[in-house]
Structure 1
Amino acid sequence: MCVTYLGYLLLLWFPGVLHAQSAAQPCVAPRLPHGYIVPEQDQYATETKLTYACEKGYKPAVEGWWATSTCQSGTWSPEPECIVEQACIPPTIPNAKYSESLTGWYKDGQKIWITCDKAYKLKDNDATTVCTNGSWSSVPVCERSVDACGAPPKVPHAVIMDHGHQELFAADTELRYECEDGYTAEGAGNDKTIVCIKGAWTKGPTCSSSSAPGTGQGGSTEGATGGSETQPAGRGTKPTTGHGGGSSGSSLQPAGGGSSTTSDSNGGDSRPPFIPTNDCGPNPIIPYAVVEVERNYLRYRCDDYHTLVGLDTVVCQSNRWWSRRPVCKEKPCVLNPDRYSNLKLSGFQHLREGVWVLFECRWSGHYTYIQCINGQIRPYQCCDYHNGHCPF
C-alpha cells in the first residue's frame, strides 16, 4: 500500500522535474564554419551569451562584424552563422514590408520588392532594391502620403477607442471618441466619430460635464445616482449603493457586470465604456517609456531614443481590461547597448546621418568606426588600433 502511494506521488512529481530540467537544458558548442567563438568551450549553461566573428571573406548573418547568440533551453538564438561578405542581411526600411528570405539573408544579385504600409507611399515609385556586393543598392523609401493624417485632435475629457498602433492614419480612417466618466458628448449631432479626409481630421465631439444644467443629471433628484464605491477588479458581484439611502439614491452594478440602472433618454445603457484607472490593477509597463497617471487615463511618453507608435493614451475599460497600449520603437541611427555588446557603451547613443564615429570595443586596445547610412548602422570590424591592424 505504501509502495503504491509512493509511486503515485512520484508520478505527480516527476513530470515537473522533467520540465524544469528541460527548461534549464544546456547548449552544445555551435558549429560555425568559417568562424570562431568567444568563450570557446564544449557546453554552455542556459542563458549564456557568446560572441562570434568570421574569417576573412565572411561576416555574421546579422548586423555588425561581431555578433552574439544566447543559449535558450538547448538552442542558440539566433543560430550563429557566417555568410560570404558579398551576401546581404535584411535591409531596414521603415514603414515597409517585403518578402523575407528563408535563410535569413540574401545572395549577391538577389532583388526584393517593397510594399509601403498604409498612410505611406513609395518615393519616386522605386519599389525594388538589389543585393550588390554585400550592400543594398538604392534602398526604397516609404514617405508619408499627402492624404494621410497625423495624430488625431485631443478632445478635453475624451479618449479615442479601438485604434491601432500607428503614427499616421490613412485617408478615410475613422476614429471614435468616448467621453470620460461624468461627461457626455454634445454639439453637432453628438457625433463621436472623426474621419481622415485629404490629410485633415473632421471636427470631433465636445464633452461637457454630465452635472451641468440641462443634461438631466443633477438638475433634479429624478434618475440621479448617489455617490458610490468602485469595487476592486475581480472582487465579487455585490452591487454598491448610494450614500444616505432614500428615493434619491440608486444601486449601481460593478463595472462590467450585470445591467446598469442608469439610462439615457432612449432607455439604453449610459454606463461609460471605461472606468477609473485604479480598477484595472497595475499600470502597464511599456519599455523605454514613462507614464503620467490620471484618474481616467494613462499617458505614455518615450525617451529620446525611441518614437511612440500608437496613441499615447491608455484607459481602463468597463470589463477591467486595459485598452491597446502604444509601443516605443527605436529611432533610426540609434546604437542599442544590448545589440552592440562588443562595444563599450554607457547607454543608447544616437548617430548623425553620414558621420563616421570612432568607438572603443570591449577588448583592450581595439576600436571600430561606425557610420549611419539611410537610417542603417554600418560598423567596421573591431581591430587592434595601436598595432596598426586597422583599415582606418
Structure 2
Amino acid sequence: MTLLRHTIGFLLWMGCTRYKTSAGAVCEDPPLIDFGEIVSGRLSGYKENDRVKYTCNHGYTLSGSQWITCSEKIWVPGPPQCLKRSCGSIPKVSNAQIEGRNKEMYEPGETVHYQCDSGFVIAGSPEIICREGNWSAPPSCEKEKPCDFPAIENGKLSQSLENYRNYYFPMMFGQYVDYHCTDGYQTPSGSTWFRIVCSAGGWSPEPKCLKKCHLPWLQNGFFQDSHKRVFTEGERVKYGCSADYDTEHEGGEITCTRDDWSPPPRCIRKNMTCEPPPEIAGGSIEGVKKSRYLPGESAHYQCWQGFEMMGPSTVMCHSSTWTELPQCKGRGGKCGPPPLIEHGELLSFRKNEYAQGTTLEYKCPSLYVLEGSTTITCANGQWTNPPVCLVACTASEEDMARNNIHLRWRVGTKLYSKSGDFIEFQCKKGYQKDPSSSPFRVQCVEGTIEYPHCKPAKNCTLDEQIMKENNIESQSQRQRVYLTGDIVFFECKHWWHTKVSAADRFRAECLDGVLQYPSCGSRFG
C-alpha cells in the first residue's frame, strides 16, 4: 500500500509540475518525501540545472536517485522513496525455541535469542540481529554427546582422574579437565598444562602434546633470524654456514618433527678437491689418473720423445685447482698432437707431429657456444690456447613444475639457451615468489641453470559487500574466485555511476588473496 501511495503521488506531482511550470522558466519547489528530507539545495526559485539532495531518516533506506535536477521545468529523475529496512520472520532453527513472542516484522537493530531444547547444545552465537533488512547468521543446535576419557599421546590427566576414570567419565557438555605433557613435549600453546572443555563436537580444543625441539649446537654455522631456542613440532628455522662451508641440504631449512630436527643441520666444507690434471700438448700424466685428488696430492707429467720439459714436472692440488702446468716443447719448433677440447673437434685429421707455423681449426656442435679463437697455431714447439665449447642449458619442464614456475618469454616450444644467455622465469598462476628464492632472471652457465622457486598463494574471492558499497561489478559475472596472478576486470554497476578511481584500478590483479577494489560514484553528485 505504501509503495502504491507513493507511486500515485509521484504521477500526480509530475502532472502538476508540468502544468505549473509550463508558463515559467523555473521549476516548482521539489516535493517532500515521507521518512526523509532535503539536505542540499536552494530554498526556492529553482533555475535550470539546479540540483537538490535527499536523505532518509534512521532505519530507512533510499530507493531511487539521491539527487534530482531541474531540467526543462521539471525535476529529473523523480523524487526517491524512503523504505523501512525491516526484517521478516526469523530463521527457523531445528531443536530450538526463541525467547519471547515471534513477530511478522522486526525493526532494524532488534535482536532475537535462541535456546536449544533439552539434550541439545548451541553452536554459534545464540543471538541474531536485524541489519539492513537481513538477519545475521543463526546458530544450530547439535545433539549433546558425553565426552569419553581423552587418550593423549605423550600426555596425561591428573593422577586421580587417571585412577578413577570410570567414576569421572564420561563427562557432560561444559565440564572440563586439565592435562599435562611428559618431558620433551608441550601443549600447542607452549605451556606444560592445558585445559580442555567437553563440547558438542567432543573435547575442545583437541588435546595434543607436541614434540619440543631445542636448537642444537651447529659447528661452523649459525641459525638465522631466531631469537628463541625452543621450537614446537611443525615449526621451521633456517641456518647458514661460515666461510668455506656450505649447508648440507639446499635451502638450509630444518623442521621440528616428532623425531627431532629433520633434516639434521650440518655445515660441510666446500669442495676443495681437484678434477684429474688436464692434458698438455706433447706430454702426458705418469701412471693412471684418479677421478679426484685431495688437497696436497700431486701428479707427475712426462714429455714425449722429441719434446723437452719446460717448468716443474710435478703439479699439486691446492684449493680445488692445480699449480702451474709444465710445457713440452718440440725440438726444432715442431709441435705434437693438438690438445683435445671437451664437446669439440678438429676440422682436420689428427697427426703426431706438426711443423712450426701450422694452424688448425676447431668447431663446436649445435647449441654449444665456442669461446676463444676457433684456431690454434704451432709456435716455438707449443700450441696456442685452444677454444672451449660451452654447453647449452635446457629448461626442464619437470624442474620448472617442481619449482612452480614457467618461462616468462617463450617462442614455440624452445627450451634451450646458449651458455651466457639470460633466461627469465615467472610464477605459475596460484603461486607467488618465495622470499628465499634465487633471482628470476637466470644466466645459463656452462649448461647449468639455478632455478628460482615459487610457493602456493591464497586465492581471491570477490567481496560482494565491498563491490556493492563501491558501486562496481566484475565483467565476468559468473566467476567469483580467482588465482594469484589472475586479472579481474571491474566496471561501474549502473549507467548513472561514473568512475572515481583511476582507469588502471579497474584492472585489478589478485595477489596472495588480496584485491584492490576500484570505486564508482553517482553522476549526479
- Shared fold, TM over 0.5: no
**How does the TM-score come out when normalised to structure 1?**
0.29
**Larger gyration radius, structure 1 or structure 2:** 2
